Structure 1
Amino acid sequence: MLKTDRLTLKELELSDLNQIHELHSLPETDEFNTMGIPADIGVTERLLADWLGMRELVPRTKYVFRIEDAANNFIGLIGLNLGKPHYRNGEIWYKLHKDSWNKGYATEAVKRLLEFCFTDLNLHRVEAGCAVENSASVKVLEKAGMILEGRTRKLLPIRGEWKDNYFYAILEEDFFGIANHS
């Protein structure tokens, strides 16, 4: 479990299925997502089963957390996919319920996950990407201290169209430099 002033990031449980399915089924949260809206709850159930199964792998390759607000309400998901151990890198992603947008929750959750990446997992580099049109995610990643490294053309398959992707990253020295000056 990871905590911030306003949030708790907890590993997923089977009981999270309905909330995850609702989150993935919202057109607003799917706007820039490559997964698409699940056809039925069975699709979400299989996804959750995969995420839960990843917890048993050694070495572990994925972490997926439910994000809860101070009142213990489910407000979204945040995850980390680890790269090859020798490279000490990972990629983060997040998805928040539309009712929790514009409150700083995504930035707060990303900052906490980055702290986990660099402090607990001893990663060297953490990456993230977002559709170039996703100005909200651009703001989140930049507020969290990530640096825009480039733009990949037509990388993301979103609702039948290929969309360009911004590519962000933060290195351990960037992170600890930020942490020492705040």
Structure 2
Amino acid sequence: MDTFTIRELKSTDAQALLAFETRNREWFESHIDARDPSFYTWQGVAEHIEGYLSGFALGTWHPFVIEDSSERIVGRANLKGIDPSTRSAEVGYRIGRDACGKGLATQALKHLIEEAQGRWQLTQLVAYVFKDNVGSRKVLGRCGFVLEQPSSNEASEAECRFVRGLVPDPNAR
């Protein structure tokens, strides 16, 4: 059985992250919006990482990578838009095509929930998913997220909004 590790993104991850994103580009673009082509260069990924780590230092992002037993990046997971005033954040994750079906998205999302409750003391998480992304919708449901019905003037034809309430960990760091 494969073992996987979830750890914080590091500035030294540029080459490994570029390889992961390039290897899975077509797969991801079939499920989510395409990235700008300039992202798929060493400089593009290095700037991407720098932006995420700057956000982490400011307390607005918490980026993670998922590695297999060979320390190869096979997925990503992020808390983004962390807002201490509303005690909320958005979750995002992407699992490489070769690593799908192994429970990694669920494991990653559970990790994000734990970090949101423990480290960040958040009370709500939000996820946006394309309506036809059945796999992510199942993962969100499995992890306690509930589909929020949009008001008539907010209805998006392509995306669904899922929410999950949290109880912050009183013994957190």
TM-score, with structure 2 as normaliser: 0.81
* Cα distance between partner residues in 1 of 2:20 and 2:30: 12
Residues in 1 aligned to 2:73 and 2:162: alpha-carbon distance in whole angstroms:
27
TM-score normalised according to structure 1 size: 0.78
Name structure 2 gaps, 5 residues minimum. none
Corresponding residue for residue 5 of structure 2: 8
SS in 1 for 2:37: coil
Residue 146 of structure 2 aligns with which residue? Answer: 147
Kindly tell me: are residues 51 and 44 of structure 1, through their superposed partners in 2, closer, same or farther at Cα, counting changes over 3 Å?
same
- Paired with 1:21 and 1:71, the residues of 2 have a C-alpha distance of 17
Asked if 1:22 is matched to 2:19, the reply is yes
Inter-partner Cα distance in structure 2 for 1:116 and 1:84:
14
2:44 counterpart residue number: 43
With over 3 angstroms needed to count, the CA separation of the structure-2 counterparts of 1:38 and 1:48, relative to structure 1, is farther
Percent identity over paired residues: 23
Q: Partners of 2:82 and 2:52 in 1: how far apart? A: 16
| Residues paired across the two proteins, number | 161
Amino acid in structure 2 at the alignment position of 1:90: A
Q: How does 1:105-116 map to 2 (within 5 A)?
A: 105-116=104-115
Q: Report if aligned partners of 2:28, 2:34 keep a CA contact under 8 Å in 1.
A: no
Aligned to 1:166: 160
CA-based RMSD of the aligned residues comes to 2.3
CA spacing shift, 1:81–1:140, aligned 2, 3 Å: same
Aligned-partner residue type, residue 7 of structure 1: F
Paired residue type of 2:145: M
Q: Distance in 1 between matches of 2:67 and 2:49?
A: 17
Decide which moves more: 75-84 or 95-104.
75-84
Match of 1:180 in 2: none
Q: Structure 2: how far apart are the matches of 1:24 and 1:144?
A: 25
Distance in 2 separating the partners of 1:118 and 1:7: 22
How far apart in 2 are the matches of 1:153 and 1:22?
A: 36
Change (3 A) 1:28 1:34: same
Q: Which amino acid aligns with 1:169?
A: V
